[in-house]
Chain A
């Protein structure tokens, strides 16, 4: 069975990891390569590195960082932030990234999705979307949640799939940083209407939230940042818990244990 994925996300500014609450008040949380390697050893299934630096200088630093990540980490990773054209994609894939994620640039220029899919394959193209539930439904936002657009979350993700996006990374701005669980209702609607994998983002506060996002939100992967960065949830323990809840997960057993099936026999 294909496993549900646990995906720590690292926001990078000037080569360092940061994480905000509701997209403001950035806090420092360590060296990206060290942190990424630690997550990988704890059993993270994939990593996401988002460059939130806007400057040209910062972007060069980020490319160098991507090379260091690729050299040191033995699981797949996605990079995003500041990707506006094909040459950015080429540069980051060449640096060793497995997938790239685009967000505002795709809303401004949807054709970019088609171009990435055509040149590098759908599997490298993750369409990230920041959306907020308003009285007019779920609306997509630009520039890290600063600018509202009239794009509807469900219509936009469907269009992105048709254009060749290989995965959707959906962040609910209502849930992000609040630690009260993921946007499971909206996620379940997305899962029903799309045929590509969905990475849920925004709202993880405890282990149960991960169970709920897989069972109720029907997500393929769950992304989280601060609960991992500050050690509130250990990935090894989270995976053991999810496995006990009957969710297919990679490494949902203690080292040395024969198998989870055996473990269940003893319970």
Chain B
């Protein structure tokens, strides 16, 4: 099986690569169109800022390429947000794979700290990413923007209010949290993706 990780100016590519290596998978980290198109699985990581990153994706043509992939694709964190229609972070239009808009967290009380950072539970899981999950599991989040609950929600988390911890539509999967940093639970999710 060939696993490709989209290479661009994202902050967590190395962490994703290490996580895959721990699962025994040697991924190709590449921005090459043919390599990405011919992979069995594609991972679209992301740590950074939406507007700058979208500009980069457009300039390199990766935006059209990612949208048109037919194999299972997993977006992580900013990767997931960029797969949505539009983001409040820099008020930028994104890939529009998921027809939903990314919003900024607005604290409702003093205890609501932004970014939402740390371990929180995912519930209402309804995607193959979470196969074998029998109870609420903790996963690791770091984000200031969120995707509201919508038709594509594949898992929810409650912080300030319920939001989409994961999305799924056709061959596109995405997690707001970082499976590559979420201990054994994260490894299970990555394995489930690799086994799709």
Contact = CB atoms under 8 A, between A and B. Distances in A.
Interface stretch (A21-29, A70-78, A178-186): A70-78
A40 interface: yes
Contacts of A251: 138
- Looking at A74, A197, A220, A258, which has the most chain B CB atoms within 10 Å of its CB? A74
A241 B48 CA distance: 37
A34 B110 CA distance: 39
Given A71-B21, A120-B11, A3 B118 contact: yes
A93 interface: yes
A143 B61 CA distance: 49
Nearest to B184: A74
Interface stretch (B12-20, B28-36, B67-75, B163-171): B12-20
The range of chain A's interface size is 20 to 34
Nearest to A70: B18
B15 A258 contact: no
A1 B113 contact: no
Given A98-B181, A251-B138, A71 B118 contact: no
B159 interface: yes
Given A75-B140, A220-B118, A197 B113 contact: yes
Nearest to B179: A74
A16 B14 CA distance: 24
Given A2-B159, A123-B115, A70 B120 contact: no
B14 A94 contact: yes
Contacts, number: 77
Contacts of B113: 195-197, 220
A121 B78 CA distance: 13
Contacts of A15: none
A149 interface: no
B119 A5 contact: yes
Given A2-B118, A74-B183, A196-B113, A96 B15 contact: yes
A259 interface: yes
Contacts of A195: 107, 110, 113-114
Nearest to B120: A2
Given A123-B142, A166-B115, A197-B113, A96 B18 contact: yes
Interface in B130-164: 135-136, 138, 140, 142, 158-159
Contacts of B119: 2-3, 5, 45, 250
Contacts of B116: 2
Given A75-B183, A76-B181, A122 B115 contact: yes
Given A74-B181, A76-B181, A98 B15 contact: yes
Interface string A90-132: 0001101010000000000000000000001111000000000
Contacts of A71: 18, 21-22
10 contacts: A2-B159, A3-B118, A71-B21, A75-B183, A123-B115, A195-B110, A195-B114, A197-B113, A250-B119, A251-B138
Interface of B: 11, 14-15, 18-19, 21-22, 47-49, 107, 110, 113-121, 135-136, 138, 140, 142, 158-159, 178, 180-184, 186-187
Given A3-B120, A98-B15, A251-B138, 5 more contacts: A74-B187, A120-B11, A121-B11, A121-B47, A195-B107
